[in-house]
Structure 1
Amino acid sequence: MTLREELSEYAERSSGLIEDSPQMDEENTKRKLIEPLIDLLGWDILSSAVELEYSVQMGSTTKRVDYALKIEGTPVVFVEAKGCDTPLEQSHEEQLKSYMRQVGVDWGLLSNGREFKIFRHHVSSNRVNLISLSEFDVEDVPDNEHPLKALSRESIESGESRQIAEKIEAVQNAVKELRENKEDLAEDVTGVVSEVAGNAVSQQVEDEAKSFVDNLIRTLEEQAHRREVIRDPPGSNDKPVNGEYEIRVSRNGEEIHCVVEELQSEAMGSLVDYLIEEEKLLNEIEIPYIPGTGKGSRALLNDKPEHTNGKEMKTHQSVSKGYYVHTNLPSDQKQKYVSELAEKVDVELEFIGGW
């Protein structure tokens, strides 16, 4: 199982636990939500590599960090946990940062099980700064595979963590520059285009240029945290180099239908269309349909383009009878979840082409 798949399962399970117990206290949050993530990242919670209630001397006072993740006895990651019933505040961030500064720990994770904040001890031009590498909610854990991987034991031991952080920071700097210079960039583009097409189009060009910069910023922010290799935006990242995406549907070994599309998301939508129209899928499932354990908040199929917590589906396909299928998923998750739907109506799927 890939790290992303493990993170997806973790997010689904955690979301279900939080929905069942939204006022979970700190002790239960640690045991049920924080420690499983520490284990998932390669730190055996029962080993000497993880020390609970690690002592930090702050002047004449001794403070304690909830978890110190250590390599050869030296802390490399501090994890500070709060209960689900406690919203994360600036004071909690400053508390963790002060511990990191005092001990010289490079990495920090602050979480209440609902929200996650990752910090890095960064040295630039002989100045030491503690910077925020990523902030996200539990349902977005899989989309933040990249910064979470930086906290893994394997990445820290191999030095990959630093490379991950540098890539994310480079994108953060690019986004900052784009935001600060959006007006100038739009003006430059407008000037170039107007020289070619005339001033009559200048206002439209300027509006389009600003919109382009905004879209670029969103794309960079979303994708900086997903994988080490930055991929194309949702909706275009699923085009194969050659050929098309094909899904063959069979029952009892006999092919009964075939979907062929140029995009993974379109193939996924067409397949769900078929299952609704021809296989009466809606008679076998509840809407909204939550994949996996069924306890998370991320809907795969709903009668409106949003998840059960009200958040909008970032990318979706409209399908039969006014429903929407969530498609902002990596290839393996698309295959897993549509196969799960297919099982509801006793058919099997085979994925061919660029899958």
Structure 2
Amino acid sequence: MDTASIRDYVESAQPIIEDSPQMQEATTKASILNDFIELLGWEIPANTELEYSVKAFSKTFKVDYALILGGQPVAFLEAKGLGKTLTSKHREQLSAYLQSENVRLGILTNGQEYEFYYRYLGDSDSQFKVEAVERTTLRKLPDKKGIIEAYQVSTIHNEESIAIIEHIRKLRKSRDTLTDDKEELATAVVDLLTDTVSDAIESEAQTQAKEMIDRLVNDIESEIDTDTPRRLDNEDSSTDSEDRITQPYSGEISQSGDVAETFTDSVQSDLMASIVNYLIQNHDLISAIEPLPYIPAKNRAIVNDEPTYNDKEMKQARELEQEYYLEVNLSWDQKQRELGRMAEACGVEISIRENDDI
């Protein structure tokens, strides 16, 4: 699977959604989700059974799509109508299906919202639990290539899916620990160095220790999906995503001390794209940074008029308005730095922050 295939699916589904935003479940499956099944490599009826019977809540239900390998279900996709917002009840329903049938992977979607689930064995109580691996939208699917690949039939068949998901979970937890406990970890590093080497290096060690942790966090975010909402792996699956993952990132454009525009988003790349689009439309950003490709440092194109540079695809090109492309495969610190450079080129001030109270 490549990003272009995911983008093709999105571009095909978007006009259907715009034309019929309230379509019922049957129409949603026929018009949109059958193509998503095909994108994952699931084939109806070769390896995918429709209306698969499962037992849950002491009753028998029908899960919309069941991926069958070796005669056993290995993944479920539960569909809802486009006009129906996904709720905690729907999540509990899919969770019950996974638990009752001993299935490890599940997807819940209404064609516009996409939620990927994973059933795993808890560390402390040896009980199987169901966890949200990713919650996203149709428009953001091209940025989620890594997690989508874990639900592809070929990846599941090769028994690689669990390893991919577990690796992502461990990286996210490591990133959160480094971020939340930065001061304590830096102090521990300083103590180790001063005890082992000399207390004469304490001042330099304090600065270097914090910078080392920042670099490590950046490296981790470069490996995993930096667009994942914060603490998704610790969410209570019974809580609506709208209540728990709400606009943790914000930006503000000012000119001559007056606020011109504010931006908020739950996804870093979406926030960055919104701000860059605003600068293009309102402050002639392209003229300010020409010639394209715009390469502010080293050999990496950040803004270009095509999604390639030096005959290679940009790592994660986000299509902007007026047919420009933005590289969003950047850590949070890198995104802030590049936005600052572009704002300065346009002669405006910018303030970007991560809202820690979310």
Local SS of the residue matching 1:105: coil
Backbone CA RMSD of aligned residues: 4.3
- Residues 34-113 of structure 1: matches in 2 within 5 Å? 34-45=33-44, 47-58=45-56, 60-113=58-111
Separation (CA, whole Å) in 1 of partners of 2:7 and 2:93: 29
Separation (CA, whole Å) in 2 of partners of 1:153 and 1:122: 19
Q: Report Cα offsets for 1:203-231 as digits up to 9, x if no partner.
A: x8899788768756755652598xxxxxx
- Residues 22-41 of structure 1: matches in 2 within 5 Å? 22-41=21-40
Separation (CA, whole Å) in 2 of partners of 1:96 and 1:260: 45
Instruction: For residue 14 of structure 1, report the CA deviation from its aligned partner.
Output: 2.2
> Structure 2 unaligned runs (5+)?
229-268, 270-290, 308-317, 327-334, 347-358
Letter in 2 for 1:84: L
Moved over 3 A (4+): 124-127, 186-193, 195-202, 204-221, 257-262, 268-272, 300-303, 314-319
* 8 Å Cα contact 1:269-1:318 kept in structure 2: no
* Structure 1 residues 190 and 151, CA gap change in structure 2 (3 angstroms): same
* 8 Å Cα contact 1:189-1:209 kept in structure 2: no
Instruction: For residue 124 of structure 1, report the CA deviation from its aligned partner.
Output: 4.8
Q: Report Cα offsets for 1:39-90 as digits up to 9, x if no partner.
A: 1111112x14222211112364211111111113311111111122222122
What's the counterpart of residue 173 of structure 2? 173
Letter in 1 for 2:133: L
Local SS of the residue matching 1:183: helix
Instruction: For residue 177 of structure 1, report the CA deviation from its aligned partner.
Output: 2.1
Q: Report Cα offsets for 1:19-43 as digits up to 9, x if no partner.
A: 3333333222212222111111111
- Residues 166-205 of structure 1: matches in 2 within 5 Å? 166-188=166-188
Local SS of the residue matching 1:68: strand
Percentage identity across paired residues of the two chains:
28
Letter in 1 for 2:173: N
TM-score, length of structure 2 as denominator length: 0.58
Q: Report Cα offsets for 1:64-120 as digits up to 9, x if no partner.
A: 111111113311111111122222122211110001100111110011112211111
TM-score, length of structure 1 as denominator length: 0.59
Instruction: For residue 121 of structure 1, report the CA deviation from its aligned partner.
Output: 1.7
What's the counterpart of residue 2 of structure 2? 3
Local SS of the residue matching 1:159: coil
Instruction: For residue 270 of structure 1, report the CA deviation from its aligned partner.
Output: 7.9
Separation (CA, whole Å) in 2 of partners of 1:217 and 1:29: 37
What number of residue pairs does the alignment pair up? Answer: 258
* 8 Å Cα contact 1:49-1:73 kept in structure 2: no
Q: Which protein, 1 or 2, shows the higher relative CO under an 8 Å CA cutoff with sep ≥ 6?
A: 1
Q: Report Cα offsets for 1:137-165 as digits up to 9, x if no partner.
A: 21221221122111111111111212212
